[in-house]
Amino acid sequence: MEKKTFVTKEQLEEIIKTYPTPFHLYDEKGIRENAKAMKEAFSWNKGFKEYFAVKANANPFLINLLREYGFGCDCSSYTELMLSEAIGCVGEDIMFSSNDTPTEDFQYAAQLGATINLDDITHIDFLEKAIGKIPERISCRFNPGGIFEVCNGIMDNPGDAKYGMTEEQIFDAFRILKEKGSKEFGIHAFLASNTVTNEYYPMLAKKLFELAVRLEKETGAKICFINLSGGVGIPYTPDQEPNDIRAIGEGVHRVYDEVLVPAGMGDVAIYSELGRFMMGPYGCLVTTAIHEKHTHKDYIGLDACAVNLMRPAMYGAYHHITVMGKENLPLDHKYDVTGSLCENNDKFAVDRMLPEIQKGDILVIHDTGAHGFAMGYNYNGKLKSAELLLKEDGSVQLIRRAEKPSDYFATFDCFDFYEKLVEKQNK
């Protein structure tokens, strides 16, 4: 099954006349349709709220699209809190889920009225010292340890993860927090990453719902919400079937009725913190082939590199590639598709079968809407690319300009040397 692009070659040729490659392009229509589906999938739960994982894509234009559907922000740092406040997202619209958290981050989160999700039992004292009290509304992150197996061989290893409290610790934490004045409690957990199955959320939900029943019974803490966090993934490879968020929502509903309702906890709100699922398929990296090299292997060199999309270089992640205008040609050429960094792992694909590529061909690298631009960096003095939004009416909006050399040099104390250099070059 071939993955389809949400933009045509003709559209890209027009866009490139104004905005040269490389750039990240996002699909407004796809984002909106997905947000609507997410809301519908959990409409059975009166208190449901999706907190978009800002770390996945911190562009305020895109986050504001989700805000139109009542979504909040899941933040993990001071700067992400700043961004959320800047777009009017404050109070219970912010879930602050952090680890190894600095004092000032807790202080800012409390100032904004965010719901703070504690990663460790020792953070209770740390938070109290940081803000002078324990909030009335608080959440704790749970890590059961061991291996979490979903189905069809999909598993993850919470026991190796640095996040969350043990079962014994979360019981102790709830008792301590209750003694210190907390009145509204939540539970949070993230046990598997990028699952492409409709079973993950219902399985996680059952585990958390059963824990919630015991916590409320044994500690007397009033549990108001259960945060299923992220982990619902996307099909990066063409052979994978995408998750059905409505089926996922119904699966969670079924477990909710089985576990929480009989326990008298039918008023508990369900939260999620999806980033990849909300935005991933609705972004792509658009790049141009600028070199070809034939040595021990055949290489295609692009004007994009790992600073534009780090995932393949970082851990060999697969991102599908479409050579625009050649979608129906045979995949009869084997290439390593590379960028220009002085690192051998700067490859978008290794031994990938593609149609024959010529210099000047436009390539679309799929599924970069989450953990794409957001993971960018400036190694080798490379500058981050522009971000564009393909609007529902077919027009294109620049939602982040490309970096300039002046941006790269701006944080140096001796910034004047850059201005002198430009002066010299302009003579």
Question: Would you state the structure tokens that stand for residue 184, as one six-digit string?
Answer: 């509204």
Question: What's the longest Cα–Cα distance across the chain?
Answer: 79
Please tell me the predicted confidence (pLDDT) of residue 360: 98
State the Cα angle at 75 between 86 and 313, rounded to 5°: 110
Which residues in the chain land under pLDDT 70? Answer: 1, 150-157, 159, 414-418, 421-422
Q: What is the pLDDT of residues 274-308, one digit of tens each?
A: 999 999 999 999 999 999 999 999 999 999 999 99
- Is 342 among the residues known to form the active site? yes
Please tell me the predicted confidence (pLDDT) of residue 155: 46
Can you tell me the distance from the alpha carbon of 226 to that of 387, in angstroms, rounded to the nearest whole number?
34
Spans of all domains in the chain: 27-280, 281-409
Can you tell me the distance from the alpha carbon of 352 to that of 300, in angstroms, rounded to the nearest whole number?
11
**Model confidence, pTM:** 0.94
Question: Would you state the structure tokens that stand for residue 20, as one six-digit string?
Answer: 């040269």
The closest of 254, 168, 145 to 205, measured between CA atoms, is 254
State the Cα angle at 63 between 59 and 250, rounded to 5°: 135
Q: What is the pLDDT of residues 355-410, one digit of tens each?
A: 999 999 999 999 999 999 999 999 999 999 999 999 999 999 999 999 999 899 88
- Secondary structure letter of residue 412 according to DSSP: S
Spatial contact of 371 and 56, defined as CB atoms under 8 Å apart: yes
Q: Is-cis flag, bond preceding 22, omega within 30?
A: yes
Can you tell me the distance from the alpha carbon of 157 to that of 190, in angstroms, rounded to the nearest whole number?
11
Spatial contact of 400 and 57, defined as CB atoms under 8 Å apart: no
Indicate which residue of 75, 151, 284, 342 is catalytic.
Answer: 342
Tokens 């043990």, located at residue: 166
CATH topology of domain 281-409: Lyase, Ornithine Decarboxylase; Chain A, domain 1 (2.40.37)
Q: What are the φ/ψ torsions at residue 366 (nearest 5 degrees)? A: -80, 165
- Secondary structure letter of residue 235 according to DSSP: -
CATH of the domain spanning 27-280: 3.20.20.10
Which pairs count as long-range contacts for 127-135, CB under 8 Å and 24+ apart, including other chains?
128/180, 129/103, 130/103, 130/106, 131/106, 131/107, 133/180, 133/181, 134/177, 134/180, 134/181, 134/182, 135/110, 135/182
